[in-house]
Amino acid sequence: MDKRTNDSVLMKAGTEPFLLQSVKKRKLSYYGHMLQKERNCMEKEIMQGTTSGHRRRGRPRTRWQDNIMKWTGLTGDHLLRSVEDRSQWRKIIHEAANPRIEDG
């Protein structure tokens, strides 16, 4: 008769929702694809946030790069270096999209 949330059941079972894993994997792979393009590519500049202009008032919106940095645990410079090595980037995508939850 206890009420349990879906998150608590998934956490106890040691799994994550499949949809979230899929979104993370696709977002990470697309980010790597964009950063491998040439220097003057507009999409790459938008992803990195290097376009001119200013933000609106209030709390800053979450950027793509903020999500990527949070999921991988890497800084901006380390992200750029690891995207250049495709095999290393694939390992990073796999580790971020499929985290291991260990008991302890």
**First vs last Cα of the chain: how many Å apart?**
28
pLDDT level of residue 103 (50, 70, 90 thresholds): very low
Q: Is residue 5 a part of any domain in this protein?
A: no
What residues make up the domain containing 68? 25-48+62-104
Number of domains in the chain: 1
What pLDDT, in 10s, does the model give residues 59-100? 877 777 788 888 888 887 788 788 888 888 888 888 888 766
Among all chains, which residue has been given the structure tokens 């095999």? 87
Share of the chain above pLDDT 90, in %: 0
Q: Is residue 75 a part of any domain in this protein?
A: yes
User: In degrees rounded to 5, what are phi and psi of residue 17?
Assistant: -60, 135
Q: Whole-model pTM?
A: 0.62
Q: Is residue 14 a part of any domain in this protein?
A: no
How many C-beta neighbours within 10 Å does residue 46 have? Answer: 13
pLDDT level of residue 16 (50, 70, 90 thresholds): low
Between residues 77 and 104, the one the model is more confident about: 77
Q: Is residue 71 a part of any domain in this protein?
A: yes
Q: Is residue 56 a part of any domain in this protein?
A: no
